[in-house]
Amino acid sequence: MIYLDNSATTKPYDAVIKAFTDVSRQFFGNPSSLHVMGGEAEKLLTKAREQIAHLAAVTPGEIYFTSGGSEGNNLAIKGTAMMYRDRGNHIITTSVEHPSVKESCEQLRELGYQVTYIPVNKDGFIHPDDIAHHITDQTILVSVIHVNNEVGMIQPIAQIGKLLKQFPKVLYHVDHVQGAAKVPLDLYESNIDICTFSAHKFHGLKGNGFVFIRDGVRIAPLLSGGNQENGMRSGTENTAGIVAMAKAYRMAEEKRKREMEKLWQIRAYLFNEFQKMPDLLVNTPEEKAAPHIINVSCVGLKGEVVVHALSEEGMIVSTTSACSSKDKTPSGTLKAMGVSDSIANGAIRISLSYENTMDEAVQMVAALEKVLVRLTKVMRRNG
């Protein structure tokens, strides 16, 4: 099997799994306990926080551990809404966000908040000026995804952050889940207040993530209890998972520095080969897109049918976001880009990691060509 669904989840590095099992066996004490075993666990947490902060180029006090990207996005959006409900009730986001952002905003809308969804152009990009145009004296938050999880376009995060400096009462949240260890993002330079990360997107373990909350920024916690994470996220910390996440982040960053050019070469090969196929439309923009995501539509076919057919050929890909792939409705991202239902229904996503090779890409192209020929013949015969 050739695994090409890395935007859904990545395979944990062997060293990451070993770190998790070692810590689970040897340092299983509760970090909040006063005894020596609790102290040992707490030291590991502190060290992991320092390592992650160093990799993200921020301070350790700005890192808060979570269970992953969905919790982080919920914390950022709902925590801001709860903290500043007396200041305003208006949130601005985009039409191409991850479901955890969209659904958080919709829940708040049901509670009386106003939500503005900024539209995108045909390539999936927003314009910073469109955000500025919609800011009012009731606006408390702007939330923008960095790298789109379905199509791969990179939003102008730094430009938006520069614009938002004119509105100091508006917090700026960025969903960096798909960009971490693949598309660098300077959190300070981009004027980001809150930023979301998830370990299993960079070869860590599921159930771990972290949120950057800039020093001086206050939001309300969603989980109350023992006041862990400086009161921001109560609940006994997953020490082993957090240590494993720090290791995964370090290893993924090292691979990014060493192997990014290889990833771009594989992406360029796939992009060029896909453009040659008559029954394929490439939805991912060629410029200003991430190196690891390519979204294509198989004309006249259903995406899920193509996914299953490719699986039989040993190729593991997906349709849309793993969080919504079982939903039979067309991709909301592609619809926002103006893609028709029939084309959106035929979409599949190929997503790479540094573990993929050019030989695997060549095999992927051959398998897709074979599948398209076979399925198109069946469709025409039955049509």
Enumerate the active-site residues.
323
State how far the alpha carbon of 311 is from the alpha carbons of 305, 307, 324, in Å: 10, 6, 19
| Amino acid, res. 314 | G
d(CA 43, CA 66): 18
Question: Would you say how long the chain is, in residues?
Answer: 383
- In one-letter notation, the amino acid at residue 13 is Y
**Distance between CA atoms of residues 357 and 328, nearest Å:** 32
Q: Which residue has the tokens 């050929």?
A: 313
Specify the pairing of strand 293-298 against strand 209-213.
Answer: unpaired
Residue 173, amino acid: H
> Position 47: which residue type?
K
Pair 178, 201: CB distance under 8 Å: yes
Euclidean distance between CA atoms 220 and 75, whole angstroms: 8
Phi-psi region of 155 (alpha: psi -120 to 50; beta: other; left: phi over 0): beta
Q: Which tokens belong to 361?
A: 């890409």
- Distance, in Å, from the CA atom of 32 to the CA atom of 226, rounded to the nearest integer, reads 9
